[in-house]
Copies of this chain bind each other. A is one copy, B any other.
């Protein structure tokens, strides 16, 4: 039996899925929910302890008391401002060291990870706990991108690449060669909704999601699920392209079913490094 798993839970469906997966495998969990991020639907996620993101000292204590050594950072945590963080002395020291002023999402998570490891914890990847979560290469459902969609995907990859090393967005929507929208802090759902009203006549656009170049695959991998498919369909998109092996697909079968029903393609991209 693997040891109890500490889950630091951010937003989205991923933390709950992880808890369910651990339970069916008989693995104990300790869920530390980040206030304002975790349990977006309210009451669904079994949170053992709540914490502010800025309360680093209390978080470390709680994890230690719970007796966990392996920790997963699951779900998205969008960077708050320093003012919102209200860092305790522990967090303040961390921020002072890393210089939080000009920091992206990844920089923050990387710093938190090394802090946790410095305290003797082991930070593991969601996909190492919950197998078969990584996006496979190729078409997931019945539909495949046509020539125009391939051009749009290539352009999307190019834009995400350019932004990726700046630690900004991981998603872009392209229609007929036109970049309709680029994701920053608003998240992919808001991006999709916005592009619904920006779309042009003719063949619809494609959502492209990729990891950042050199991204630590232990946190914040791009994630898509059945709700992503529904949202894309509602916004008039024709398909979804996500990076194979470096993104997470929740409910793969439900996703494929929804995509087939809506006539959307879902493709796992093999992107050369």
Interface residues of A (CB under 8 A from B): 79-84, 100-104, 148, 151, 154-155, 158-159, 162-163, 165-166, 168-169, 172, 175-186, 194, 198, 200-203
Shortest A102–chain B CB gap in Å is 4
Cα–Cα distance between A168 and B148 once the two chains are bound (Å): 19
Q: A165 to chain B: which residues have CB within 8 Å?
A: 162
Contact between chains at A83 and B202 (CB < 8 Å):
yes
* A176 near B82: Cβ-Cβ < 8 Å: yes
- Cβ contacts under 8 Å, A169 to chain B: 179, 182
The closest CB in chain B to the CB of A183 belongs to B182
Q: Report the Cα distance A203→B84, complex, angstroms.
A: 11
Closest chain B CB from A240 CB (angstroms) = 18
Whole-angstrom distance between the alpha carbons of A198 and B183 in the complex?
A: 12
Which residue on B lies nearest to A164, using beta carbons? B162
Copies in the complex: 2
Q: Could you say which residues of chain B place their CB within 8 Å of the CB of A175?
A: 81
- Chain B residues within an 8 Å CB radius of A81: 175-176, 178, 200-202
The answer to whether A186 touches B178 (Cβ under 8 A) is: no
- Contact call A182/B202, Cβ cutoff below 8 A: no
Judging by beta carbons under 8 Å apart, are B151 and A102 in contact? yes
The 10 closest A-B pairs by CB, nearest first: A83-B202, A81-B200, A83-B201, A102-B177, A182-B182, A84-B201, A81-B202, A81-B176, A162-B162, A179-B184
Known interface pairs A182-B184, A184-B182. Does A151 touch B104 (Cβ–Cβ under 8 Å)?
no
Q: How close is A262's CB to chain B, nearest CB, in angstroms?
A: 21
The answer to whether B148 touches A159, judged by C-beta atoms less than 8 angstroms apart, is no
